[in-house]
Every structure is written in C-alpha cells, then in structure tokens.
Amino acid sequence: MANSDLENLLNSTQVAAIFLDSDLRIRSFTPAAGAVFRLLASDAGRPLTDLAAQFAGEGAVVEHMKEVLRTLSVRELALTGAQGQYFVMRILPYRTIHNVIDGVVVTFFDVTQLKEAEQRVLAAKVYVENIVKTVREPLLVLDAGLRVHSANKSFYELFGVSENESKGQVIFDLGNRQWDIPELRRLLGEVLPHNKAVRDFRVEHDFPELGRRIMLLGAREIPHEKDQAPLILLAIDDITESKDLLLKMNEELKHIAYATSHDLQEPLRMVVSYTQLLAREYKGKLDGQADQFIAYAVEGALRMEMLLKDLREYWSVNEHWRERPIPVDSNRVCAEILQILNAAIQESGARVTHDPLPTVIAEEVPLRLLFQNLIGNAIKYRRPDEPARIHIQARRTHGLWRFSVADNGIGIEAQHLETIFAPFKRLHGLDEYPGSGIGLAICKTVVERSGGQIWVESTYGQGSTFYYTLPAKDGDA
Amino acid sequence: MKAAQIVLIEDNPADVYLIELALKESGVTHEMTKFKSGEEALRALCPPEGTETSTFVPDAILLDLNTPKSDGFQVLIKLKQAPRLAHVPMAVITSSQAASDKHRTSLQGTRYIQKPAQLQEFLTTVGQAVKDMIEEGRASKSP
C-alpha cells in the first residue's frame, strides 16, 4: 500500500493510534490521538514518558511496551485518562515492510461511555437490590417458569423458609407445598398474563404453621434480560393483623351503636310522652299556631322513636348472632309470618302464595325478620290501582337455595337497585310510604351472615323480585 | 272502695307524674307513698329487725330499675325477702328491653312493666297493670 493511502486511511478513521520507535519516542500519530492527548506535530521525536504522564500508572505502561518489544506479543491494558476517560490500550510490535520490528503501535479505544453504561447498570442493580432488601413487605421474584428467582429477607422471615431451599423452586412447591393456593394459581396463571400488573389481589389461606393469613398480593411483570421471558415481581401484604384490628374496632363501634340506641330510649320517651301530654292538655287553650308547633314536635319525636326502634332491631340482628345456625323449615316460618301480616294482607286485598319451601341452615329469629320484611315490603309498596300479588318460591343452585319473593308492585328504578339495601335508605316520602328504611338493611345482614347473597331485579312500575340465597340443609350441590 | 296504698320508687319526677296520671285516668282510687331511691324505700319499708315501728303494708309496690345509687334488682330482692311484704304484688317498671331479657327469669312472681313511649299506651299499660296488681293482692289476702 502506498504511504499516502495509509495516511489517508489513518486520517479518515477515528482510530487513535500512536507510532513509537524502538526507543519509545513518538514517530507519528493519527489526528484522533492528537486530539485526545493534545499532541502537536512538533511532539514528534519526544519520548513517550512525556505522554505517559497523562495516564494513571505510567511506569507500567512503559514497561508493557518494552515487554512487547522484547517478546513481540500483543498487550492490552485498561487505562484511566486524566479527564476520567476510560481507554483500552493495545500495544503491538511495529513491523516494517521488511518485517523488521522497529518500535510499537499503540491504539486507544475510548470506552468511557461503555464503562459508564456498565456502571449505571451496576448502580441500578445495587439500587434495586437495596430497595428489595429494605422494603418491609415480603417480596418475591419469580422467573417465567414460576421458580423463585430471588426474595427478600421479609419473605424468608415471614414464611419461615430459607433462601437456599427456596431458590429455583417452583413457588407452589415451596415449604411443603404450603403456597399451592388456588387463588395464587389463578393470579399467576390467568390474571397476570392478561394484565401485566395486578394490585390488591386478595388471598386468604391457612398456612400449616402460620395459621390463617389474609394477604393482598401485588404482581407485576418486569422486563428481564433480552430475549428472555419477563420476571414476575410478587409483593405480599399480610393484612391479617390490621384486619383483626379493624374487625375488633368494628365490633366495638357496633357495640357502642347498640348501647347508644338503647340509652337514647329513655330521654326520647320523655320527649314523646310530654309533647303528647302537652298536645292533649293544651289543645285549643293556646293559640292555633301553638297547637301546630306542638303537633310538629310530637311528629318529630314519634319519627325519632320509630327510627331508634328500627335501629335497635337492626343492631340486635348484628349483636345477637350467638347461636350456631340450625336447620329451619322455611314453610313453617313463612306460614307464621303470613299469620302476623294477616291484618295487612286482609286490609290491602293482597294475595300471597308460595311453592313448597325448603329447610335451610339459618337462625330462626333472623330468618323470620327476613321473611317479614320482604313480604311486608311487597304488601306495602303495591300499586294504588291493583291489589298486590306476591309469590314466594325457592330453587336449588350449587349447594344453596335461591329464594325469590316476586310482586306486582310499584317496582324500583334501575339506579336504586343496589343502594336500597343500605341502612336508612328510603326512596319515598313519609307521607307516601312510612318507614325508616332499615328493613332491607336487616335482610341484607341476615342473608350475608348466613353465608348467602341478596339482590333485586325490578321493572319500574310493574313489580320487583327479591332474590336471596341460603345454605341448604345437606350442603351438597 | 277504700283507697289503694301504692308505693312508688322512682327518681324521675316526669315519670312520677305520668304514673299518677295513669292511675287517675284508670280510675284507681289510691294514696301514693313516693321514694326517690331504693335505699330510702328500704329504710322505710324494711328497717333492721327490732326497730320496726310501722305496720304499713301497701297494696302494690312499683319500682323503677334505674334509680340512682342502688341496683334496682338488689332492692327488689330485699323487698321480697321482707316477711311483712311477702304478699304484696311488686312490679318493675323500666324502659330497658335489655334488662328485662337479662333478669326476667330471676324475677319469679314479679310483674314487669315496660314503659311505652307513646303517652296513651303508657297510661293504659301502667293503669291496667296496677289495677291487676291490686286485684291480685286482695285475692291472695282474702282466705
């Protein structure tokens, strides 16, 4: 190759190269090397030792070059530049066209960016590892095959497994298969693949040694190495204790509400009795406005009395749930309730019919409240122009009995179908349909405490059907 | 008919008035001895053995369970144990449903009157109950 070709090549590439003679004096250098090491054309002929001062460990660099000259082997060194750059330095023997060794060629590759990227990756890894270690929530990282990739200390501590016995194990096999939880299988197998991230997935499970735990799981796919399936980060929030605390507080609040509803009875009785006495004794003796005011006071007191009475009933369903549910014949309960409601049925001209009803697992008193409220409502919310037709039946579904109480009454607008079960929820004015709005809340409590569900379907203006499920006597499907 | 002797142990003047009104409107001719607390009633009705000076035997005793300073049930038990009052009909009047459930079984032979909130119901219920008690007491006394 002609000399000028070589020079053109060296000038056009960004390769930083310095050519040294056998005494390690600078013979020539490429523009890239000139720029990096601030060499001038006049530097030609200077010994390398002047240049080597720019590098950390200069003595070693010179020694390596001497070794290359002596052994004719290629050497590669990592160097740190004065400005903190990272270089890979290659030292090769310089061969003349006559194959005579006449010095060395030193090339420099600036690997600063590569090195920095590497450090960033390392820093990120350390950062993440520290977060995982620091987080008090148990964290578990699974690979695509649901094997334990890593976990934090909290996880090992809470679930009493060691790092050694866990790593590489499929999660469901961990600690005598105690993690083989159907809900977890569903989360990892079905939910996560479609969502990539899941929060607050509730899992309740009896662990052989820990007992029953209630956990909220957060799961997320995290990108892993290139071309590999993502890892799965599983965060476990054990809410068993906070749940217990909440339940305890809830119990206390219920108790306070129950006690308060009782304690208010006595002062309220005074108000009711004496406003009524006032009305009775002084009617017509004061002026007309006074009579009206007293009437308002009586009305308010009576209304409050009714609310409290219903509230006490509601709380007593909550409070007195002591006995275990037993088989109860709902035919008998229904017949007794129809007897109690007889006056209302006669008066309104309602016709109440029912199919043979099953024996269910329930408590007698709450069950009566359920029938009484639902049938009572069906009579009460009849259409003005048509006598109520009410039919009660029950169908067997999945180990439960699904009851229905269907009427041809005024119906419920769609937007109220869910909210009508809330305590004190009323859809009508007192002058239209009196009541406190506690009946359906009682029904909901009764059904849910028995392990069932209650809901309503309705066509506004044409009638409603209330459905509820109760456990069947033998429990099978 | 001779005026019935009624003992009323009740600290709430509003209730005292309502109970007297109930007796009046039910046509119960009566004289009422009132005590504001159970202790006061016990001092007067069953003093310690030997210090007894009175031979007073009422026709009926009405006791509010929630009088201050003493447990109404303790007072009731002491009244029932007094030999002189052995044949006197006694009634507990209260607005507490819970108390009734709790102690009903321990109140053998004691009438239980729950105070209704509605005026008319109160007057009728209390008036009728006291009438029945007087009746019952006279029947048990006559041989």
More confident residue, B60 or A136: B60
Dist CA A379 CA A34 (whole Å): 101
More confident residue, A35 or A21: A21
Q: Point out the least confidently predicted range of A8-12, A90-94, A280-284.
A: A8-12
DSSP-derived letter for residue B3 is P
User: Residue A463 has which token pair?
Assistant: 């009638």
Distance from CA of B19 to the nearest CA of A (A): 12
Report pLDDT digits (tens) over A232-275: 888 888 888 888 888 888 888 877 887 788 788 888 989 999 99
Q: Pick the closest to residue B54 from B41, B63, B44, B39 (CA basis).
A: B44
Nearest CA in chain A to B13: A270
Whether the predicted pLDDT of A208 surpasses 90? no
Distance from CA of A276 to the nearest CA of B (A): 6
Question: Are A469 and A447 a contacting pair, CB within 8 Å?
Answer: yes
Among A268, A271, A273, A282, pick the best mutation site for testing chain B contact (most B Cβ within 10 A). Answer: A273
User: Residue A218 has which token pair?
Assistant: 């957060």
Distance from CA of A436 to the nearest CA of B (A): 17
Partner-chain contact B115 A274, CB within 8 Å: no
Residue A16 CA to chain centroid, in angstroms?
56
Partner-chain contact B117 A265, CB within 8 Å: yes
User: Residue A338 has which token pair?
Assistant: 């129809």
pLDDT band at A55; cut points 50, 70, 90: low
B19: which chain A residues are within 8 Å (Cβ-Cβ)? Answer: none
Q: Mean pLDDT over all residues of chain A?
A: 84
The answer to whether residue A304 neighbours chain B at the CB level (below 8 Å) is no
Mean pLDDT of A187-202: 78
Can you give the length of chain A in residues? 477
**Residues whose CB falls within 8 Å of the CB of residue A360, separated by 6 or more in sequence, listed in order:** A327, A328, A330, A367, A401, A450, A470, A471, A472, A473
Partner-chain contact B118 A302, CB within 8 Å: yes
pLDDT band at A477; cut points 50, 70, 90: very low
Distance from CA of A266 to the nearest CA of B (A): 6
Q: Point out the least confidently predicted range of A56-65, A190-199, A284-293.
A: A56-65
Half-sphere exposure of A133 (CA within 13 A, CB side): 6
Q: Point out the least confidently predicted range of A2-11, A277-286, A295-304, B74-83.
A: A2-11
Nearest CA in chain A to B97: A262
Q: Pick the closest to residue B18 from B62, B58, B76 (CA basis).
A: B62
Size of interface A-B (CB pairs under 8 A): 37
pLDDT band at A185; cut points 50, 70, 90: confident
pLDDT at A165: 84
Beta pairing partners, B111: B91
Q: Mean pLDDT over all residues of chain B?
A: 83
Whether the predicted pLDDT of A45 surpasses 90? no
pLDDT at B105: 44
More confident residue, A201 or B88: B88
Tokens 């569903």, residue located = A186
Distance from CA of B96 to the nearest CA of A (A): 7
Q: What percent of chain A has pLDDT over 70?
A: 93
- Choose among B95, B116, B122: nearest Cβ to A266: B95
Partner-chain contact B97 A276, CB within 8 Å: no
Q: What is the CA radius of gyration of chain B?
A: 14
More confident residue, B49 or A467: A467
| Phi, psi for A250 (deg, rounded to 5) | -60, -40
Dist CA B61 CA B84 (whole Å): 13
Report pLDDT digits (tens) over A405-460: 999 999 998 888 888 888 877 777 767 777 778 889 889 988 888 888 999 999 99
The answer to whether residue B100 neighbours chain A at the CB level (below 8 Å) is no
pLDDT at A1: 47
Report pLDDT digits (tens) over A154-183: 888 887 888 888 888 888 888 778 888 888
Give CA separation, A123 vs A128, A130, A136, in Å. 9, 10, 22
Whether the predicted pLDDT of A25 surpasses 50? yes
Partner-chain contact B117 A274, CB within 8 Å: no
Partner-chain contact B96 A262, CB within 8 Å: yes
- Work out the end-to-end distance of chain A between its first and last CA atoms, rounded to an integer number of angstroms: 92
Residue A115 CA to chain centroid, in angstroms?
40
Partner-chain contact A269 B97, CB within 8 Å: no
pLDDT at A187: 82
User: Residue A445 has which token pair?
Assistant: 């409590």
| Phi, psi for A394 (deg, rounded to 5) | -145, 140
**Residues whose CB falls within 8 Å of the CB of residue A262, separated by 6 or more in sequence, listed in order:** A312, B96, B97, B98
Mean pLDDT of B112-128: 90
Mean pLDDT of B16-30: 94
Spell out the long-range contacts of A176-183 with Cβ–Cβ below 8 A and sequence spacing 24 or more: A176/A208, A178/A207, A178/A208, A178/A209, A181/A205
Three state DSSP letters for chain A = CCHHHHHHHHHHCCCEEEEECCCCEEEEECHHHHHHHCCCHHHCCCEHHHHHCCCCCHHHHHHHHHHHHHHCCCEEEEEECCCCCEEEEEEEEEECCCCCEEEEEEEEEECHHHHHHHHHHHHHHHHHHHHHHHCCCCEEEECCCCEEEEECHHHHHHHCCCHHHHCCCEHHHHHHHCCCCHHHHHHHHHHHHHHCEEEEEEEEEEECCCEEEEEEEEEEEECCCCCCCCEEEEEEEECHHHHHHHHHHHHHHHHHHHHHHHHCHHHHHHHHHHHHHHHHHHCCCCCHHHHHHHHHHHHHHHHHHHHHHHHHHHHHHHHCCCCCCEEEEHHHHHHHHHHHCHHHHHHHCCEEEECCCCEEEECHHHHHHHHHHHHHHHHHCCCCCCCCEEEEEEEEECCEEEEEEEECCCCCCHHHCCHHHCCCCCCCCCCCCCCCCCHHHHHHHHHHHCCCCEEEEEECCCEEEEEEEEEECCCCC
Q: Pick the closest to residue A103 from A127, A77, A72 (CA basis).
A: A72
pLDDT at A248: 85
Among B10, B94, B118, B120, pick the best mutation site for testing chain A contact (most A Cβ within 10 A). Answer: B118
- Choose among B14, B66, B97: nearest Cβ to A274: B14
Nearest CA in chain B to A263: B96
pLDDT at B143: 55
The answer to whether residue B117 neighbours chain A at the CB level (below 8 Å) is yes
DSSP-derived letter for residue B28 is -
Tokens 């069950």, residue located = A367
Whether the predicted pLDDT of A146 surpasses 80? yes
The answer to whether residue A282 neighbours chain B at the CB level (below 8 Å) is no
Beta pairing partners, B7: B33, B61
B96: which chain A residues are within 8 Å (Cβ-Cβ)? Answer: 262, 265-266
pLDDT at B69: 63
The answer to whether residue B99 neighbours chain A at the CB level (below 8 Å) is no
Distance from CA of A452 to the nearest CA of B (A): 29
Q: Where are the alpha helices (DSSP H) in B3-118?
A: 13-25, 38-45, 72-81, 97-103
- Mapping DSSP to helix (H, G, I), strand (E, B) and coil, where does residue B85 land? helix
A266: which chain B residues are within 8 Å (Cβ-Cβ)? Answer: 66, 95-96
Q: Pick the closest to residue A105 from A42, A52, A29, A35 (CA basis).
A: A29
pLDDT at B67: 64
Mean pLDDT of A331-358: 92
pLDDT at A323: 60
Nearest CA in chain A to B96: A262
pLDDT at A192: 72
Give CA separation, A469 vs A356, A370, A412, A442, in Å. 16, 12, 21, 15
The answer to whether residue A308 neighbours chain B at the CB level (below 8 Å) is no
Dist CA A41 CA A61 (whole Å): 23
A312: which chain B residues are within 8 Å (Cβ-Cβ)? Answer: 97
Give CA separation, A468 vs A371, A397, A403, A446, A448, in Å. 11, 11, 5, 10, 9
Partner-chain contact A262 B98, CB within 8 Å: yes
pLDDT at B53: 67
The answer to whether residue A249 neighbours chain B at the CB level (below 8 Å) is no
A274: which chain B residues are within 8 Å (Cβ-Cβ)? Answer: 14
